[in-house]
Amino acid sequence: MEEYAAVIDRNISWFVGKALSFIDITIEDSPDVKDKHPRKQVLKKLFKNDIYNARDNDLLVIPRKEFTEEKVAKIFKDLLFKLINYSVTAIPEKLRRDAFNALVANAADIAISKIFEEIEE
């Protein structure tokens, strides 16, 4: 169980790092965002809180034998829905927001794949 939890934790940490770097890049590169630093900090805090809550309250409580890719994908889908909603207020320009959301969704897909690759090894 400890190894299983470590795999989840390592890949969630990787996902958080990617999401936070996407926040920095997207908001810094947005000419229409005036209050960049406070906006980045609020968005980063929301992302980290929700991602770590999903890890602690959803992913780590699934018994190992019931831990399926479908269940994990559902948890990430629900999580991404929240994160996309946050980006609406933080990133006003739709094209940038869509690109940002696509990057975060892609990182989530990679994290899910990495979790199952490592568990199966």
Lowest mean pLDDT among 22-26, 37-41, 77-81: 37-41
pLDDT of residue 36: 78
Longest dimension (CA), the chain: 49
**Per-residue confidence band for 1, with pLDDT thresholds at 50, 70 and 90:** very low
Q: How many structural domains is the chain composed of? A: 1
Distances (CA, A) of 41 to 7, 36, 45, 115: 27, 9, 6, 28
Q: Are 119 and 64 in contact (CB under 8 A)?
A: no
Residue 79 or residue 39, greater confidence: 79
pTM for the model stands at 0.87
For 98, the domain range is 2-120
